[in-house]
Chain A
Amino acid sequence: MLLSLCALLAAAAAAQQAPPQSNLPEMGKLPAVPSAPRAQVQPQYVVVLDAAHGDGDVGAQFSDKLLEKDLTLGFSVRLRQALASRGIQVVTTRDTDVQVSRVNRAEVANHAMAAACILLHATATGSGVHLFTSSLGPTAYTKFLPWPTAQSAYVEQSLRLSSEINSALGHAAVPVTLGRTSLQPMDSFACPAVAVEIAPLVGGNTTKATPLTDVSYQNRIIDALTAALTQWKNDWRQQP
């Protein structure tokens, strides 16, 4: 009994030490095969437009008839058309006057795996366009990001996108104010994200301010955003 056990152990040890017998021919004897070109997986270039507020959440009230929720929605629809005409795929968080929760907005943006997320806001304060990125500190990208601070992994890309938009608005002679803020749902967006807040265009002491509703002023901003997002297509990477 003991002898047979010893024999079994010795056989097992010998099997571990011996190199495995291969039935394949040696690699050196194989004919040369040209390597196939590696398939290039091109990530889709998707832009998310998030028109702020909606339904009961009216946002800023500019007059009896003009509300921030309506202005951002109209702007979102026109910007979507401008981007689509350049062949850019657009996903919107709302297309009608409905209330979308902050969590749902972030879900739509994160599900789209977007190259750029633009949050559209409007205010009666200040002048020109205010560009805000998240005030979260940058962190390394990981596969699983905490929901409330997912934007932290994209902060550096967001700052680059903001710089791109700033440059385009500068070409369109629209004054820009850059800032950092803590804004929901932007902090939960897992994509390069910039909040674009449109303010009236305040002129000098002698000239009258251009109102938010001025179509040519809005068109200048839409053209600049379209140019910036077209340029961003060449500059972004899918992961930070």
Chain B
Amino acid sequence: MIPRFQRFLFGAMLLAAVVMAIVLIRMRERAHDRLMMAADNQPLSTLMSTAPVEKITLLVANDLDGSLIPVERSFPMPKDPNARARVLMQKLLEEYAAPKSTHPIANASGVDEVFLMPVPQQQGEMAVVNLDSAFVQAQPSGIEPETLTLLSMIATLHANLPQITEVRFLVNGQQKDTLAGHADLTRVYLASDTQTAVRQ
């Protein structure tokens, strides 16, 4: 015979577990909605048409010496940080798709979204860069080319949006082991990871 208080305790714990599960599911849905609202799905041309022209720094990869070279460009830049990050990535990849690029990657439309979110218990933000699979397929395979692609993205984001201290990469919204067979995409990259590669 199970004592009455034990039956009551079991019922209370079961109820608490169900309530916690419902709360967690709701929180997850809200976080997802918040991210989707933060991500500006407007085409880049619309975002840039009304924006003022600003000077930005792109950290462009050079395959021959494995360095990142600062290159200054002037573009209309939107005010919203998420949209700015998206424009920065787009402009960087256009450099790589250009003829005689120092780090050629054929596909210029490689970044679907960039989400910015606060880093818990730290100052600064994490950028989640969602790459599209066509870009990943166009990426030349190798430790050097893949590492340089990632480092140039991280360094460009940090140079123009210094609040970005960490970067994470997804492909079509999913975690992938490597970019094209080599560079690790399962980890969070720090902005400080790029320091050794930037040519002064």
Write out, one digit per residue, whether chain B residues 175-188 have a CB within 8 A of any chain A CB (1) or not (0).
00110011110110
Report chain A residues within 8 Å CB of B118. Answer: none
Query: In the bound complex, do residue B66 and residue A121 qualify as a contact, i.e. CB atoms below 8 Å apart?
Result: no
A178→B65 CA distance, assembly (Å): 9
Query: In the bound complex, do residue A180 and residue B141 qualify as a contact, i.e. CB atoms below 8 Å apart?
Result: no
Report chain B residues within 8 Å CB of A184. Answer: 177-178, 184, 186
A7→B180 CA distance, assembly (Å): 83
How big is the B interface, by class? Answer: 20 to 34
How big is the A interface, by class? Answer: 20 to 34
Q: Answer yes or no: A183 CB below 8 A from chain B CBs.
A: yes
A190→B164 CA distance, assembly (Å): 32
A135→B146 CA distance, assembly (Å): 14
Query: In the bound complex, do residue B145 and residue A125 qualify as a contact, i.e. CB atoms below 8 Å apart?
Result: yes
Which residue on chain A has the smallest CB distance to residue B147? A181
Query: In the bound complex, do residue B183 and residue A181 qualify as a contact, i.e. CB atoms below 8 Å apart?
Result: yes
Query: In the bound complex, do residue A199 and residue B182 qualify as a contact, i.e. CB atoms below 8 Å apart?
Result: no
A180→B66 CA distance, assembly (Å): 10
Q: Answer yes or no: A81 CB below 8 A from chain B CBs.
A: no
With A60-B181, A132-B147, A177-B65 already in contact, the answer to whether A124 and B197 are too (CB < 8 A) is: no
A61→B181 CA distance, assembly (Å): 11
17 extra interchain contacts, Cβ-Cβ under 8 A, other than A130-B143, A180-B196, A183-B182? A60-B142, A61-B141, A121-B143, A121-B182, A123-B140, A126-B63, A130-B144, A132-B143, A135-B193, A178-B66, A180-B193, A181-B147, A181-B182, A182-B183, A184-B177, A187-B184, A199-B142
Residues of A participating in the B interface, judged by any CB pair closer than 8 Å: 53, 57, 59-61, 68, 121-127, 130, 132, 135, 177-184, 187, 195, 197, 199, 202
18 CB < 8 A contacts A-B:
A60-B142, A123-B140, A125-B63, A125-B142, A125-B144, A125-B145, A126-B64, A126-B144, A127-B64, A130-B143, A132-B143, A177-B144, A179-B66, A179-B147, A181-B147, A182-B147, A183-B182, A183-B183
